Amino acid sequence: MDETYEQEVQQADEALRREDFDTAFRHLERAHVLAQRMTGRHTFVHWRMLVAGLRSRDLREVAGQVPRIVASILFSRVWVPRGNSGRARVSAFAPMPVAEDLEHLVP
Domain assignment present for residue 99? The answer is: no
Task: Look at residue 19 and tell me if it is in a domain.
Answer: yes
| Dihedral angle computed from the Cα positions of residues 68, 70, 72 and 74, in that order, rounded to the nearest 10 degrees | -140
Does 103 score more than 80 pLDDT?
yes
pLDDT grade for 64, boundaries at 50, 70 and 90? very high
Domain enclosing residue 64, as ranges: 2-79
27 falls within a domain: yes
| Per-residue pLDDT at 27 | 98
pLDDT tens digits, 8-45: 999 999 999 999 999 999 999 999 999 999 999 999 99
3-state secondary structure the chain: CHHHHHHHHHHHHHHHHCCCHHHHHHHHHHHHHHHCCCHHHHHHHHHHHHHHHHHCCCHHHHHHHHHHHHHHHHHCCCCCCCCCCCCCCCCCCCCCCCCCCCHHHCC
Position 90 in a domain: no
pTM of the full predicted structure? 0.94
Confidence of residue 65 (pLDDT cuts 50, 70, 90): very high
- How many domains does the structure of the chain reveal? 1
**pLDDT at res. 107:** 80
In a domain, residue 87? The reply is no
